[in-house]
Amino acid sequence: MKKTIVSLALFAGSFVCMAQDVFAPVLQQIEQSSTALQALRQQMEAEKLQNKTGLTPEDPEVEFGYLWGSPAAIGTRKDVGISQSFDFPTAYVQRGKLSALQNNSTEWHFRTERMQLLLAAKNLCIDLIYRNKMKSMYTRQLHNAERIVEAYEKMLQSGETNRMEYNKARLNLATAKEELRRTELEREQLLARLAALNGGKAIAFSETEYAAQSLAADFEQWFLEAEANNPALQYLRSQVEVAKRQVKVSQAEGLPKMSVGYMGEFVGSEHFQGISVGMSIPLWHNKNRVKQAEAAAIASAQTAEDNRLQYYHHLKSLHNQAIGLQQCVALYTSSLKENSNESLLTKAFEKGELTLLEYLLEMEYIYDCQQKQAEAEKDLAHICAELTAYTL
């Protein structure tokens, strides 16, 4: 069985955790432009051609011999031979069926690799949405910090505040600038990685919101459909079928091989000609091949079952995490909706009801909650991307 490392965590069933509209344009562009996918397609075609080799009889053999006689008076002898060898017919039938199964398995392997690549691109887009959110938040912080510095600079000049308060405002501005700069650098890195997946072509992605998300309540029922539609498991199942068919091919190749041909011998005016028939006696060449194929088939089946069990428990864990993250996001959303008082704090600060330190601390609580909400949304989006990767 061909050894392939398959990340079963990447694939899942048919419940909708996140709509694809936000990511679809990017993923479609990558599928068209990705040099990695082009190489995978070419490799798949090459493997399919390889699987079709060896399905026909071996090439015919032609022999010609010219022998000088001694003494010369007896003349020369000419030998001519044409022969065609072939396996027992059952072997060709089994090899043809094996080739079809191998090509089917190659298709599933390509789909697995394709989804791994598209999922990587989708996860980059999810990280970009998070960075776009952070950029928006830090931009607001920066504008607010600039207004504070301007106000404190005027107050310092008029003697309404002291240098220490002014320095606090400047430090707050420097922090806001650094956070925004760091976020921009991280965005550029993500966009560069996305471009690499897109065949080197840059992609613009400025989304700041995820699509609506929901989870299937009945995990067990959903898993049955997930298992049936999981290309990674389909690939492993196809490898089991290939291994089983290989047993039959090994059995068929243990049958006698035959050959048929024409032979001619010409000596002076005399000649002999006729047909030749041969048959191999399978004593040693295929020894233990059938046993090896049977052992490989058992190992393949056990590997597929083990991966299925791991897949089930991993999806169960992801499903539980997603439910917890949904609750977390809902809590942050409701808390920010009910308690976010950015504008009120700004007005209170402008009226002198809050000191700069008090204002900055209060605003930090709000920004911290917004950042944690964005992180929870990002984590939930990554899990949902894994659970719905089969739809890519």
Tens-digit pLDDT profile for residues 362-380 = 777 888 888 888 999 899 9
User: How many Cβ atoms are within 10 Å of 126's Cβ, its own excluded?
Assistant: 24
Per-residue pLDDT of 243-278, as tens digits, reads 888 888 888 888 888 888 888 888 777 788 888 888
For residues 3 and 71, the model is more confident at 71
Per-residue pLDDT of 311-327, as tens digits, reads 888 888 888 888 888 88
Confidence band, pLDDT 50/70/90 cuts, at residue 213: low
Residue 9: burial class (beta carbons within 10 Å; 0-12, 13-18, 19+): middle
In the predicted model, is pLDDT for residue 225 greater than 70? Answer: yes
Confidence band, pLDDT 50/70/90 cuts, at residue 1: very low
Confidence band, pLDDT 50/70/90 cuts, at residue 126: very high
What is the pLDDT at residue 151?
82
Confidence band, pLDDT 50/70/90 cuts, at residue 141: confident
What is the pLDDT at residue 8?
43
H or E stretch including 144? helix 89-158
Secondary structure of residue 256 in the 3-state scheme: coil
In the predicted model, is pLDDT for residue 166 greater than 70? Answer: yes
Q: What is the DSSP letter of 58?
A: P
What is the pLDDT at residue 163?
86
What is the pLDDT at residue 365?
80
What is the pLDDT at residue 46?
92
Confidence band, pLDDT 50/70/90 cuts, at residue 128: very high
CA-to-CA dists, residue 104 to 141, 234, 376, angstroms: 56, 10, 40
Confidence band, pLDDT 50/70/90 cuts, at residue 178: very high
Confidence band, pLDDT 50/70/90 cuts, at residue 193: very high
What is the pLDDT at residue 15?
45
In the predicted model, is pLDDT for residue 129 greater than 90? Answer: yes
For the residues 30-49, what does the mean pLDDT come to? 91
* Cβ atoms of residues 184 and 206 within 8 Å: no
In the predicted model, is pLDDT for residue 338 greater than 80? Answer: no
H or E stretch including 86? strand 76-86
pTM: 0.81
Q: What is the DSSP letter of 15?
A: -
Task: Report which residue type is found at 203.
Answer: I
Task: Report which residue type is found at 197.
Answer: L
For the residues 3-16, what does the mean pLDDT come to? 42
In angstroms, the CA 69 to CA 72 distance is 5
Q: Set out the domains of the chain in order of their start, with CATH numbers.
A: 8-391 (1.20.1600.10)
Cis omega (within 30 of 0) on the bond before 256? Answer: no
| Residue from 238, 236, 303, 304 nearest 102 by CA | 238
Strands 76-86 and 258-267: antiparallel
| Residue from 90, 51, 102 nearest 249 by CA | 90
Proportion of the chain above pLDDT 70, given as a percent:
93
For the residues 193-213, what does the mean pLDDT come to? 87
In the predicted model, is pLDDT for residue 2 greater than 60? Answer: no
What is the pLDDT at residue 10?
42
Q: Which of 188-197, 255-264, 338-347 has the highest mean pLDDT?
A: 188-197
The residue written with tokens 């047993």 in the block is: 247
Per-residue pLDDT of 150-161, as tens digits, reads 888 888 888 877
Residue 202's DSSP bridge partners are: none
What is the pLDDT at residue 5?
38
* Cβ atoms of residues 280 and 269 within 8 Å: no
